Amino acid sequence: MSLGEIYDGAFRSIRANLPVMLGLSAIVVLVLGVVEGLTTYGAFEDFNRLLGRLDPAEDPEAFLEALTSSGSSFLLSSGVSTLISFLGTTILTGLLIHAVSQAVIGRQTSIGQVWTEVRPQILRLLLLTIVIGLLLTAVGVAAVVILALTLVSGSTALVLLGVLLALVTVLVGIPVVLTFTVLATPALILERATIGTALSRGFTLARRSFWRVLGIYLLTVVLVGIVSTAITWPFGQVALIFETGPGAFVLTLLGGVVANWITIPILAAVVALLYIDIRIRTEGLDAELARAAQES
């Protein structure tokens, strides 16, 4: 498949199974949005009241103490919300990848069928996502260590070299890790693989078409980011009318929910089709898909 065919196939797979691709996505992101609102609104309001009640110029110590307390509460509630969002989004992505794989061979699955097929792999899927996150974090930590070691030296030349090496580590390391792991998720879901096998499969498949996988995935991430911004921007502009309070909070939250509802299925579909495309190119998966399509 060409780039255009992958994108066209992504939208076709979404249209072919709207109850799962958009219906299930709507349910999950709406629930996650409600959870985020319930867990963060109190801290959000406390922070706004703090800004309106205390003047840092009049009593900086009291302001700093209140800011620290309010900030800690906000970070805690945001952390809980982020954890729940991670769990929901990861599971949703796995469900959507399976639905896309069925749409490729002409099968339309229900939400219950998709859940039944993917449920045994959910724990592995969550652990795999954590492992990938740790690998990306390791790149960031390596960059910080390089920078810290050169700062200790006190030499201007070494500091500049350290900054350069840290930037190269991040700019090269993160895309490399993403490229070698992006196909691990569909491998785990569609091949019912273990975490180690999924990572190995993702590496093997991506290595054969490194630049293709990297280019298509990064382009998709950029396009999805643009779409997400285009969706959330109007909500943010309307929220400015309310300045602060429940209206602004709900509108901002709603913008994120709508953006996730649209973008998560698109990204999941592209990743699933990219995995299938690489396997067709390297392993002759097209013959297997043709037999499965005839059986369906």
pLDDT in tens, 206-263: 998 899 999 999 999 999 999 999 999 998 888 777 766 677 778 888 999 999 999 9
Phi, psi for residue 147 in degrees, rounded to 5:
-65, -40
CA end-to-end span of the chain: 22
How many CB atoms sit inside 10 A of residue 50's CB? Answer: 15
Q: CA 126 → CA 84, 110, 113, 130, 131, distances in Å?
A: 12, 23, 20, 6, 9
pLDDT, position 201 = 93
pLDDT over 60 (residue 166):
yes
In tens, the pLDDT along 47-65 reads: 666 555 555 555 566 556 6
Average pLDDT of span 34-59? 67
pLDDT level of residue 69 (50, 70, 90 thresholds): low
Question: DSSP labels for 194-259?
Answer: -HHHHHHHHHHHHHHTHHHHHHHHHHHHHHHHHHHHHHHHHHHHHHHHH-SSHHHHHHHHHHHHHH
Average pLDDT value over all residues in the chain: 84
CA-closest candidate to residue 112, choices 130, 99, 93: 99
pLDDT over 80 (residue 66):
no
Per the structure block, which two tokens stand in for 195?
A: 């975490």
How many CB atoms sit inside 10 A of residue 92's CB? Answer: 20
**Longest pairwise C-alpha distance within the chain:** 77
pLDDT over 60 (residue 38):
yes
pTM (global) more than 0.75: yes
Looking at per-residue pLDDT, the higher value among 202 and 3 belongs to 202
pLDDT, position 244 = 65
pLDDT level of residue 30 (50, 70, 90 thresholds): very high
Q: What is the CA radius of gyration of the chain?
A: 23
Q: How far is it, in rounded angstroms, from Cα 215 to Cα 247?
A: 40
